[in-house]
A = this chain, B = another copy of it.
Amino acid sequence: MSGDGGKRERILAAALDIFSTQGFSNTTVQEIAERARVGKGTFYTYFPSKEDALTYLLDEGLTHMGQHIESKVQTLKGSVVKLQAIVQEQLRYFHNHQPLCRLITREVWGHNDQSSSLAQRIRSSYIKMLQEVIDNGIKEGELRTLDSETVATALYGMISIVALYAKELSSDQGLEYIEMTLQELFFSGITQPRTIMGEA
């Protein structure tokens, strides 16, 4: 729509792909430009620096993921139902956007210095949203009384790493099986329930 032949989008897509594969520092602007089929100088027409492109990707990615998931969740009623949807959607989103997921994992969780900028953002946006849903569930008695911040973080970590781990899965068949496993694990735990009287 910008009349630029989609150059900006091509640059962003190329940057995301290569950043996630090789890492930010090992990616050259040259590579991005080539993959995007533009001149190296053109990169700088759209982004002030390589760093800015990364920041933009992370920002946009987090925002988009948050909006996507919230849009799926907000109409649902009940904390368990909402959390079930969150697990499903986040897993699928990360599975469909592995490069973004990998980027977040490396650049957000892997860094310590510029904690102000990136790590904080995801915590204060996405994880806070999870936490609120969980808090509500606890208040309403649907969920057990556990520390919601820890649970939210654990849920996020569980899904991210599984999504990265499952990268070889190409069939949605496999993805559904994994999703079911995660749902069971998260909602009911790993332990075999001690049937109240039976077992005797």
A positions within 8 Å CB-CB of B: 20-26, 80, 83, 102-103, 105-107, 109-113, 123, 134, 137, 141-144, 146-147, 150-151, 153-162, 164-167, 177-178, 181-182, 184-193, 196, 199
- Which one, B112, B154, B166, B187, contacts A182 given CB within 8 A? B154
Pair B146/A190 contact, Cβ less than 8 Å: yes
Q: Which residues from chain B contact A189 at a C-beta distance below 8 Å?
A: 144, 185-189
Apart from A151-B181, A193-B193, list 9 A-B contacts with CB within 8 A. Answer: A23-B110, A24-B25, A105-B105, A106-B106, A107-B110, A137-B190, A146-B184, A157-B160, A157-B162
- Which one, B25, B146, B153, contacts A25 given CB within 8 A? B25
Interface of A is mostly: helix
Q: Which residues from chain B contact A24 at a C-beta distance below 8 Å?
A: 25
Q: Which residues from chain B contact A159 at a C-beta distance below 8 Å?
A: 154, 157
Q: Which residues from chain B contact A22 at a C-beta distance below 8 Å?
A: 111, 113
Residue of A158, A189, A190 contacting most chain B CB atoms (<10 Å): A190
Q: Which residues from chain B contact A21 at a C-beta distance below 8 Å?
A: 111-113
Q: Which residues from chain B contact A106 at a C-beta distance below 8 Å?
A: 105-106, 109-111
Q: Which residues from chain B contact A111 at a C-beta distance below 8 Å?
A: 21-23, 102, 106
Pair B162/A161 contact, Cβ less than 8 Å: no
